[in-house]
């Protein structure tokens, strides 16, 4: 198991010989250094395979002091180096193999790294710096001018203020095309767009206090928090949709 390097979790490290700890105890240990950490954050990191606490026969998590050290190391890489989970996992694997890991300087982060998401499942892990002209977008999305004009008229997608298209809009266009093969047209998808905008507003309400925080590291962490909440919201939406479909009569 990975041990935190020097400059580690401080009061967040469990004392030697401590018995297995509940998730609530772990939360209290970590909050001295990471006041924004939550139980859902710890569960999220577990779901992503970054920490693997033992489970009792009844299903309760039991964390070792090594688990707490590992969590502190993960949270520190997110907070101080703005690393997405994919990169953090690679660093942890390298450290487990006994390799030296070179982290970027604390606070030195490119805009592309800032835009990386913890949730690769929802395709948020792509840098958002690339912009495409209209012709480039049509070619990349493999759609025609008529289709694009229809999507824009319904507000499903559109260019940024400079008239160019963000790279992730290509992914959005392809999804709209795939749904169109099942007979779902732009007018049907307006409700989905409206729901996404409401969820985005909810996420913004949660992270707004972090953006206004006096601590610059906390403000920087707001973006990663927003991405994490967005991923969890997508998972919840998928689970609710699946549950709704399963209750319909055959």
Q: What is the pTM of this model?
A: 0.46
Strand 54-55 with 165-166, pairing: unpaired
Q: Cα-Cα-Cα-Cα dihedral of 239, 41, 231, 104, to 10°?
A: -160
Beta bridge partners of 62: 54
Nearest-angstrom CA–CA distance, 46 and 35 = 19
Q: Residue 232: which of 39, 22, 34, 29 has the closest Cα? A: 39
Only one residue has tokens 């999305």, namely 141
Dihedrals phi, psi of 54, to nearest 5 degrees:
-70, 160
Inter-axis angle of helices 134-141 and 145-153, nearest 10: 100
Q: Name the pLDDT band for 249 (thresholds 50, 70, 90).
A: low
CB 167 within 8 A of CB 132: yes
The 10s digit of each residue's pLDDT in 40-93 is 889 888 888 899 999 988 888 999 999 999 999 998 888 777 677 788 888 888
Q: What is the mean pLDDT of the chain?
A: 78
- Structural domains in the chain, CATH included, are 10-108 (1.10.1660.10), 112-118+120-246 (1.10.1660)
CB 174 within 8 A of CB 147: no
pLDDT of residue 18: 66
pLDDT of residue 14: 42
Q: Is the pLDDT of residue 120 over 50?
A: no
Residues shown for the chain: 250
| DSSP alpha helix (H) spans, the chain | 23-31, 39-47, 65-81, 85-96, 111-114, 134-141, 145-153, 168-180, 186-211, 216-246
């Amino acid at each position: 198991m990975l041990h935190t390097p020097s400059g580690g979790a401080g009061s967040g490290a469990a004392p030697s010989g401590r018995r297995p700890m509940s998730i609530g105890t772990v939360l209290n240990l970590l909050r001295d250094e990471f006041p924004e950490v939550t139980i859902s954050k710890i569960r999220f990191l577990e779901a992503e395979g970054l920490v693997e606490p033992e489970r009792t026969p009844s299903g309760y998590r039991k964390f070792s002091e090594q688990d707490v050290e590992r969590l502190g190391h993960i949270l520190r890489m997110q907070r101080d180096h703005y690393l997405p989970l994919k990169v953090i996992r690679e660093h942890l694997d390298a450290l487990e193999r006994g390799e030296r890991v070179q982290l970027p300087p604390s606070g030195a982060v490119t805009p592309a790294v800032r835009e990386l998401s913890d949730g690769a499942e929802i395709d948020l892990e792509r840098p958002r710096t690339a912009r495409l002209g209209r012709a480039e977008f049509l070619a990349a999305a493999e759609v025609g001018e008529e289709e694009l004009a229809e999507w824009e008229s319904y507000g499903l997608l559109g260019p940024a203020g400079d008239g160019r298209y963000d790279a992730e809009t290509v992914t959005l266009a392809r999804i709209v095309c795939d749904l169109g093969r099942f007979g779902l047209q732009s007018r049907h998808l307006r409700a989905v767009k409206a729901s996404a905008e409401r969820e985005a507003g909810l996420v913004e309400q949660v992270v707004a206090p972090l953006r206004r925080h006096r601590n610059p590291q906390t403000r920087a962490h707001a973006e990663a928090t927003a991405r994490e909440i967005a991923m969890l919201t997508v998972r919840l939406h998928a689970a609710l949709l699946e549950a709704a479909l399963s209750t319909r009569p055959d």
